[in-house]
């Protein structure tokens, strides 16, 4: 029933709800709730030290020499990339003793937010009076112009125009960009991911999911005089907590009709395929230790997304939650209907969205299997499609291309084509076969697109050929990229040919979807968003957009079916929970250090902050702005946060700063790093 | 929208809806719709030739010498059991030339319905004034008494008391039982299951899913003077069709609250586990041809149930369908509320059912993982639990036992314990590991039942031990059965120990479910059913109960998203559809016979008859009572038939009698069998 209290459209966000942009933090509300005043200096300090990582994570600067605290799962790809024969940094950890041992993470970039620039009026003005595709183009052009205007040509900056409230507001976020980010400290996976999939999104938790990076400029550690102080005492029950980071995406402003589509169609559709693929990968991994190692990242990723989607599904299946959403929608509609201007402007927007959902019933399976989810996760397919489509689209004028292939995007696509490293063929083959099997099942054998796809071959036999495509060879890809459409059309590679012969069906499915579902929905949603914004004022927070936000809350357990869940775990609890069998086997270094560690040290803790994926690695700050921990997960109820915040149960999970300090000293012996964090 | 027309509670069943008991066939309605009068002689002839098979299928007697037509998928287990070194009857078919080549199917029994005896009054009288457990016991005792009274001690008879309309009516079905059933003809699986999983529940279809059994009495073919005539001309579009068989189970009388529980909780819960297990089995089968052969039956079974559940889920996700169910419920409630007697009698039955659904949210996962779905499909677990529980329960008085272990059931349990043949350990291990993994995931690591289950072992390590349990050895099982509780308690077998240590948690979960969910629901549902029956009269058909029913309809295609689906396929279509790759590879015999076959012969066809699982093997009769085909499947829309019949799209799929005749002559050269069917 907690939902009912927090979701009414006309009520302000309650309790600890909200992912607040840094230029509209509700300081009065926070003061009223917690007696803490966040003055501009506090907010500026938090913003100056907040980091956005290009792999979809967050972090916080914690020393004057560019040291950044984040999660180990945020640097796993970096650690894996640095590994080589005889060096498995994911399994063993990556521990440096001196600056010259810090190694660059290939492709990882960091950004620090400098300022937020309001550009709503100019974007609106450019698009005024236009509709449909013309509207989109004018808006996009105005946003691009605003980015250029804000950043000028200055090196080391990045400007990004963002649409908030689905078109209700436009702002440019201006960042300082760090292109040289190096790995300083990453613990062994057995410590950071202790509990594995069973403990993921659960609490009590005993994960040492912390890692340190360092920002470099001109080959030297960046000077970062504005950094966050690492706190030396444990979080306490009920203490106020602030999390500053970049929540990736939420869907809190969808209509009830759209939520029902997610509940009944899109989430189950994807989840059933995910479950079956997970079963295949699990079985594959049981065949040998080498296979288990090979498949581990793919399996962990699918387990994580499986659980995340289960959490979202659970929220949507909650009748109270949906009733609250319905009540909020009804209230907003009434409010708009009562307004002479906006009732005309919005018109039948909700009904148009609802009608699009009916169309989605038939159009979703083709667009999912042939276009948005084509290849079923195969990197090879992804690369082959980029090659084929880029060659096709480059021959067209910019205005006629698929938007992801316009000139300004081509350099990024080229980099992806040349740099992406596909999986082993055995793994690629599983993804491809599974995709072919399910596409045949879901669209039926008699669908023309399926006949074109399979010809007279079985999914298994075709997938085996595709998995050995030469697209796996970077030189082959380079030749195709440079050869353009002629090279593509001449190629006898089975995967290139598959992509070519299925491309027409995929484009048709996509066009049908955009024309009948996503196009009408976007247009209608923007009308609603603008009305909402105009009528309710700028006091609400927008859906997450992987931009910097502050959330507030407190250290607090919650009530679960069978009792209260305490807000803390301790080092002692780690050893109690261990069984010796993975994923509940304590890492050797931690076994050895057991006697030295204080069993009562707070290890992980939960807070009521409203965060979501993308917030991984965010610093958790106290009233004084000191780092009390690093956020790395949410509990199972936080997953419903995609659609709405339930203050009674939604919890963020963090590793405490004191646990990090004690482990650096007693488990890892990283005294230089510890001194950099806490001072001499 | 077709749903809206067929489901109103107070309207009679419309169009071709209904699975009608033979003692209440709506002959007037049939005459009005099709101009055909089914007189008593017609009905008696159909009943006399209808067969119920103990493996959950139906059949029809088609010669005076006990020949029974059914489906090949209904005799697959028999054919597999008859196989031996160098003889694979499933792959190659089982073809006899003479009576002495016909072989007994181990464990398969056939029953022919002799009469239906009304016993409602005496059952009601026995239970009158009683409530709760006392009510159930009195009712069950009266039903058992009615069975004994109807059959006496006569050998070769079986009497079964059935509750129709969830307690609205009680009848005894009296059968002649045939304990000696022999296999006469079974085609190769490549012919009967052409199209495999992709074509399953779909049409156009080209399955030769027919087989013949023979009833034996005293070692000789049974004399069956009342048999169905095998028709020698093809079905025609629009022709009336009657299907006589035993639909297994439907849920058309569930309340909307119960349907929502199936939609949102129980179906997805099972289906996600099924998908993941399917992925494991699929991957396992790719490792080698021998593994593929080993796993084929398990994989086919899981693919079939996966698709069946998808069809049910689709019906429940259909907003029009649920709205029609809601309208019907509202109408019935209004009707009852307007009746002075029944409004008091029924009281708040719907609300009590709805409250039980809320309780189910928390109670379902434990009861599913620990009790009803424990073992995850492992035969070894099933056997070990039978052994442990039978030993525990035999030490109690009958009245204190779990109902499935009362004295009258023990002989059947003993036979199962001694006769069941578990899967290979490698397959058992997959089932067991998957069950342990999912139980840990769904109940969480911290659930006491999970701690008891796993101890300090990983699911993988524990499953490996369990899969090599000695419970796989019949002699070991026999010793444990005879040794009783002491032998069980002394056993150090890992699986027996697992069952013992998890038994308490399983019983607690079951008791909680029965007390809070199924018990209150059953009591309330019976009240509603009796009111419905009393107020609407005996003009409706009851939910399916695996008893003999007649359904009527016509040969008819249907409208699918992208056009009309024609009602027939032909022999020619088989060869057009073939790709050469399984499951679309034509069987060698059929390839060889191609030139001899008439490409225009009607192969499979669809009719609007209202049937469901259990009807497999049912004869499809024309107006004259002649066999025009054998039903073997339904289309994808028929799966929603579990909850309601949609005459516009729900179709039964049958193989035509003419196709069978022609193939027996030209593909299989079984001329004696053909002569027995069609005369000299």
- When CB atoms are compared, the residue of A271, A446, A581 closest to B272 is A271
For chains A and B, count residue pairs whose Cβ atoms are closer than 8 Å.
104
CB burial of A563-574 (b: ≥16 within 10 Å; e: otherwise) equals eebebbbbbbbb
DSSP state of A413: H
What is the Cα–Cα distance from B597 to B191, expressed in whole angstroms?
15
Report the gap between the CA of B651 and the closest CA in chain A (Å).
17
The answer for B86, left when phi > 0, alpha when psi is -120 to 50, beta otherwise, is left
Banded pLDDT at A412 (limits 50, 70, 90): confident
Banded pLDDT at A132 (limits 50, 70, 90): low
Q: Among A75-79, A295-299, A629-633, where is mean pLDDT lowest?
A: A295-299
Strands (E), A165-226: 169-178, 180-186, 211-217, 220-221
Question: Tens of pLDDT along B100-150?
Answer: 999 999 879 999 999 999 999 999 898 888 776 677 778 888 888 898 899
Residues of A in contact with B313 (CB under 8 A): 268
Token pair of B29 as six digits: 């309605």
Q: Which residue of B has its CA nearest to A273?
A: B275
Q: Inspect the interface and report whether the beta carbons of B445 and A284 lie closer than 8 Å.
A: no
- When CB atoms are compared, the residue of A276, A362, A579 closest to B456 is A579
Q: Inspect the interface and report whether the beta carbons of A286 and B581 lie closer than 8 Å.
A: no
Report the gap between the CA of B583 and the closest CA in chain A (Å).
8
Neighbours of B596 (CB within 10 A): 10
- When CB atoms are compared, the residue of B283, B317, B362 closest to A280 is B283
Quickly list DSSP for B383-429.
HHHHHHHHHHHHTS-GGGS-GGGSGGGHHHHHHHHHH--PPPHHHHH
Report how far apart the first and last C-alpha atoms of chain A are (Å, whole number).
50
Report the gap between the CA of B264 and the closest CA in chain A (Å).
6
Q: Which residue of B has its CA nearest to A561?
A: B362
Name the residue among B363, B354, B413 with its Cα closest to residue B388. B413
What is the Cα–Cα distance from A285 to B459, expressed in whole angstroms?
14
- Position A282 scores a pLDDT of 97
Banded pLDDT at B14 (limits 50, 70, 90): low
CA distances from A295 to A190, A280, A430, B129 (A): 17, 11, 11, 64
- When CB atoms are compared, the residue of A272, A445, A457 closest to B199 is A445
Token pair 């639909």 is found at B247
Residues of B in contact with A437 (CB under 8 A): 282
Question: Tens of pLDDT along B636-653?
Answer: 999 999 999 999 999 999
Q: Inspect the interface and report whether the beta carbons of A430 and B460 lie closer than 8 Å.
A: no
Burial of A610 (0-12, 13-18, 19+ CB in 10 A): buried
Q: How much is the mean pLDDT over chain B?
A: 93
Question: Tens of pLDDT along B193-238?
Answer: 999 999 999 999 999 999 999 999 999 999 999 999 999 999 999 9
CA atoms within 13 A on the CB side of A225: 0
- Position B4 scores a pLDDT of 39
Neighbours of A312 (CB within 10 A): 19
Q: Which residue of B has its CA nearest to A204?
A: B446
Which residues 6+ apart lie within 8 Å of B488 measured at CB?
A: B387, B388, B391, B392, B480, B496, B500
Residues of A in contact with B561 (CB under 8 A): 362
Question: Tens of pLDDT along B288-343?
Answer: 888 888 888 889 999 999 999 999 999 999 999 999 999 999 999 999 999 999 99
Q: Inspect the interface and report whether the beta carbons of B284 and A283 lie closer than 8 Å.
A: yes
Calculate mean pLDDT across residues A432-446: 96
Name the residue among A204, A183, A181, A178 with its Cα closest to residue A72. A183
Q: Inspect the interface and report whether the beta carbons of A272 and B275 lie closer than 8 Å.
A: yes
- Position A536 scores a pLDDT of 83
Report the gap between the CA of A226 and the closest CA in chain B (Å).
42
Residues of A in contact with B257 (CB under 8 A): none
- Position A206 scores a pLDDT of 98
Strand partners, B113: B175
Phi, psi of B604 (to 5 degrees): -110, 160
Neighbours of A305 (CB within 10 A): 15
Q: Inspect the interface and report whether the beta carbons of B283 and A278 lie closer than 8 Å.
A: no
Tally helices (H) and strands (E) across chain B: 27, 21
Name the residue among A630, A614, A607, A621 with its Cα closest to residue A36. A621
Name the residue among B474, B550, B415 with its Cα closest to residue B18. B550
Residues of A in contact with B268 (CB under 8 A): 268, 313
Which residues 6+ apart lie within 8 Å of A43 measured at CB?
A: A22, A25, A550
Question: Tens of pLDDT along B514-545?
Answer: 999 998 898 898 889 889 888 887 788 999 99
Report the gap between the CA of A208 and the closest CA in chain B (Å).
19
Burial of B487 (0-12, 13-18, 19+ CB in 10 A): middle
Residues of A in contact with B275 (CB under 8 A): 272-273, 275-276, 279
Q: Which residue of B has its CA nearest to A283?
A: B280
DSSP H stretches of helix in A66-200: 72-82, 89-92, 120-127, 132-151, 189-192, 196-199
Token pair of A178 as six digits: 């760090």
Name the residue among B283, B272, B299, B309 with its Cα closest to residue B196. B299
Q: Inspect the interface and report whether the beta carbons of A279 and B284 lie closer than 8 Å.
A: no
Token pair of B426 as six digits: 């490698």
Neighbours of B97 (CB within 10 A): 11
Question: Tens of pLDDT along A43-73?
Answer: 999 999 999 999 999 999 999 999 999 999 9
Residues of A in contact with B273 (CB under 8 A): 275
Calculate mean pLDDT across residues A177-181: 94
Report the gap between the CA of B55 and the closest CA in chain A (Å).
28
* pLDDT at A14 > cutoff 80: no
Beta strands B240-245 and B619-621, pairing class:
antiparallel
Token pair 């993994």 is found at B437
What is the Cα–Cα distance from B20 to B35, expressed in whole angstroms?
18
Calculate mean pLDDT across residues B593-604: 98
Residues of B in contact with A264 (CB under 8 A): 317
Report the gap between the CA of B282 and the closest CA in chain A (Å).
7
- Position A243 scores a pLDDT of 98
Residues of B in contact with A561 (CB under 8 A): 362
Residues of A in contact with B197 (CB under 8 A): 441
CA angle B248, B251, B252 (to 5 degrees): 115
Residues of B in contact with A362 (CB under 8 A): 561
- Position A186 scores a pLDDT of 98
- Position B232 scores a pLDDT of 95
Token pair 């008091």 is found at B344
Element holding A505 (H helix, E strand): helix A494-513
Q: Inspect the interface and report whether the beta carbons of A277 and B282 lie closer than 8 Å.
A: no
* Angle subtended by helix axes B425-443 and B349-367, to nearest 10: 120
What is the Cα–Cα distance from A390 to A372, expressed in whole angstroms?
16
Token pair 């960042």 is found at A175
Residues of B in contact with A281 (CB under 8 A): 279, 283
What is the Cα–Cα distance from A413 to A418, expressed in whole angstroms?
9
The answer for B608, left when phi > 0, alpha when psi is -120 to 50, beta otherwise, is alpha
- Position B106 scores a pLDDT of 85
Q: Inspect the interface and report whether the beta carbons of B199 and A264 lie closer than 8 Å.
A: no
Element holding B60 (H helix, E strand): strand B58-61
Q: Inspect the interface and report whether the beta carbons of B278 and A278 lie closer than 8 Å.
A: no
Token pair of A202 as six digits: 């659960």
CA atoms within 13 A on the CB side of B211: 36
- In three-state secondary structure terms, A399 is helix
Name the residue among A663, A657, A667 with its Cα closest to residue A241. A657
Question: Tens of pLDDT along A308-328?
Answer: 999 999 999 999 999 999 999
- When CB atoms are compared, the residue of A271, A561, A581 closest to B362 is A561
* pLDDT at A670 > cutoff 90: yes
Is-contact A17 A610, C-beta < 8 A? yes
What is the Cα–Cα distance from A481 to A484, expressed in whole angstroms?
6
Token pair 């470099």 is found at A216
Q: Which residue of A has its CA nearest to B271?
A: A272
Residues of A in contact with B284 (CB under 8 A): 283
- When CB atoms are compared, the residue of A197, A264, A279 closest to B276 is A279
Q: Which residue of B has its CA nearest to A458?
A: B581
Quickly list DSSP for B201-246.
T-SS------EEEEEEETTEEPP--S-PPBP-S---TT-EEEEEE-
Q: pTM to 2 decimals?
A: 0.92
Q: Inspect the interface and report whether the beta carbons of B276 and A271 lie closer than 8 Å.
A: no
Question: Tens of pLDDT along B167-189?
Answer: 888 999 999 999 999 999 999 99
Q: Inspect the interface and report whether the beta carbons of B282 and A284 lie closer than 8 Å.
A: no
- When CB atoms are compared, the residue of A282, A440, A455 closest to B198 is A440
Q: How much is the mean pLDDT over chain A?
A: 93
Is-contact B554 B34, C-beta < 8 A? yes
Token pair of A279 as six digits: 């079963």
Strand partners, B50: B60
CA distances from A652 to A562, A615, A630, A641 (A): 20, 10, 10, 11
Element holding A259 (H helix, E strand): helix A256-261
Interface test with B, best of A279, A321, A429, A586 (most B CBs within 10 A): A279
Report how far apart the first and last C-alpha atoms of chain B are (Å, whole number).
50
What is the Cα–Cα distance from B512 to B525, expressed in whole angstroms?
19
- In three-state secondary structure terms, A151 is helix
* pLDDT at A378 > cutoff 80: yes
Peptide bond into B609 cis (omega under 30): no
What is the Cα–Cα distance from A678 to A510, expressed in whole angstroms?
54
Name the residue among A612, A545, A592 with its Cα closest to residue A170. A545
Question: Tens of pLDDT along A600-652?
Answer: 999 999 999 999 999 999 999 999 999 999 999 999 999 999 999 999 999 99
Report the gap between the CA of A161 and the closest CA in chain B (Å).
39
Residues of A in contact with B286 (CB under 8 A): 460
Residues of A in contact with B438 (CB under 8 A): none
Name the residue among A662, A496, A605 with its Cα closest to residue A205. A605
CB burial of B196-224 (b: ≥16 within 10 Å; e: otherwise) equals bbbbbbbbbbbbbbbbbbbbbeeeebbeb
Token pair 């042939």 is found at A370
Token pair of B576 as six digits: 């057009």
Question: Tens of pLDDT along A482-517?
Answer: 999 999 999 999 999 999 999 999 999 999 999 999
Q: Inspect the interface and report whether the beta carbons of B317 and A457 lie closer than 8 Å.
A: no
Banded pLDDT at B11 (limits 50, 70, 90): very low
Q: What percent of chain A has pLDDT over 70?
A: 98
Report the gap between the CA of A400 and the closest CA in chain B (Å).
30
**Higher local confidence (pLDDT), A120 or A155:** A120
């Amino acid at each position: 029933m907690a939902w009912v209290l927090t979701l009414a459209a006309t009520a302000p966000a309650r309790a600890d709800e909200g992912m607040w942009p840094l230029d509209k933090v509700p300081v009065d509300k926070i003061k009223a709730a917690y007696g803490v005043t966040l003055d501009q200096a506090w907010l500026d300090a938090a913003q100056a030290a907040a980091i956005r990582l290009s792999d979809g994570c967050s972090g916080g600067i914690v020393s004057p020499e560019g040291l950044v605290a984040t999660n180990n799962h945020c640097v796993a790809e970096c650690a894996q990339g640095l590994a080589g024969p005889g060096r498995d940094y994911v399994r063993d950890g990556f521990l440096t003793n001196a600056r010259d041992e810090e190694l660059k993470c290939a492709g990882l970039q960091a950004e620090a937010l400098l300022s937020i620039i309001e550009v709503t009026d100019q974007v609106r003005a450019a698009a005024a009076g236009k509709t449909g595709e013309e509207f989109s183009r004018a808006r996009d052009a105005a946003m691009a112009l605003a980015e250029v205007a804000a950043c000028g040509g200055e090196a080391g900056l990045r400007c990004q125009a963002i649409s908030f409230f689905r078109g209700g507001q436009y702002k440019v976020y201006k960042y300082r960009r760090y292109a040289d980010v190096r790995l300083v400290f990453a613990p062994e996976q057995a410590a950071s991911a202790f509990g594995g999939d069973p403990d993921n999104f659960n609490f009590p938790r005993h994960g040492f999911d912390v890692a340190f990076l360092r920002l470099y400029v001109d080959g030297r550690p960046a000077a970062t005089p504005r950094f966050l102080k690492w706190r030396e005492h444990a979080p306490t029950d009920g203490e106020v907590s602030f999390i500053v980071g970049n929540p990736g995406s939420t869907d809190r402003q969808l209509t009830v009709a759209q939520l029902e589509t997610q509940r009944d169609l899109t989430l189950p559709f994807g989840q059933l395929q995910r479950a079956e693929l997970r079963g295949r990968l699990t079985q594959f991994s049981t065949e040998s230790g080498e296979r288990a190692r090979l498949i581990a990242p793919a399996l962990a990723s699918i387990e994580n997304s499986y659980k995340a989607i289960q959490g979202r599904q659970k929220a949507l299946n909650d009748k109270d939650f949906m009733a609250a959403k319905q009540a909020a929608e009804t209230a907003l509609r009434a409010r708009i209907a009562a307004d002479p201007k906006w009732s005309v402007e919005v018109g039948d927007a909700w009904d148009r969205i609802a009608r699009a959902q009916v169309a989605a019933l038939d159009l979703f399976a083709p667009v999912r299997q042939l276009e948005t989810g084509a290849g079923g996760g195969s990197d090879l397919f992804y690369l082959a499609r980029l090659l084929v489509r880029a060659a096709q689209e480059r021959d067209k004028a910019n205005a006629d291309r698929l938007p992801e292939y316009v000139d300004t995007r081509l350099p990024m696509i080229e980099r992806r084509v040349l740099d992406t490293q596909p999986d082993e063929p055995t793994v690629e083959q599983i993804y491809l076969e599974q995709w072919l099997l399910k596409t045949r099942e879901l669209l039926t054998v008699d669908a023309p697109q399926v006949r074109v796809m399979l010809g007279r071959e079985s999914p298994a036999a075709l997938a085996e050929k595709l998995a050995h495509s030469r697209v796996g060879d970077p030189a082959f890809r380079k030749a195709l990229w440079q050869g353009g459409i002629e090279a593509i059309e001449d190629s006898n590679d089975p995967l290139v040919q598959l992509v070519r012969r299925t491309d027409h069906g995929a484009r048709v499915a996509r066009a049908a979807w955009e024309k009948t579902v996503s196009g009408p929905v976007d247009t209608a949603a923007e009308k609603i968003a603008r009305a909402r914004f105009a009528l309710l004022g700028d006091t609400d927070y927008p859906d997450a957009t992987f931009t910097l936000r502050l959330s507030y809350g407190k250290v607090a357990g919650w009530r679960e079916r069978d009792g209260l869940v305490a807000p803390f775990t301790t080092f002692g609890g780690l050893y109690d929970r261990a069984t010796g069998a993975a994923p509940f086997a304590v890492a050797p270094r931690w076994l050895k250090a057991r006697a030295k560690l204080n069993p009562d040290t707070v290890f992980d803790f939960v807070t009521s902050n409203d965060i979501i994926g993308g917030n991984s690695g965010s610093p958790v700050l106290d009233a004084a702005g000191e780092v009390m921990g690093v956020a790395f997960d949410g509990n199972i109820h936080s997953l419903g946060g995609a659609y709405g915040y339930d203050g009674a149960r939604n919890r963020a999970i963090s590793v405490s700063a004191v646990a990090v300090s004690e482990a650096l000293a007693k488990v890892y012996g990283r005294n230089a790093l510890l001194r950099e964090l806490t001072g001499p």
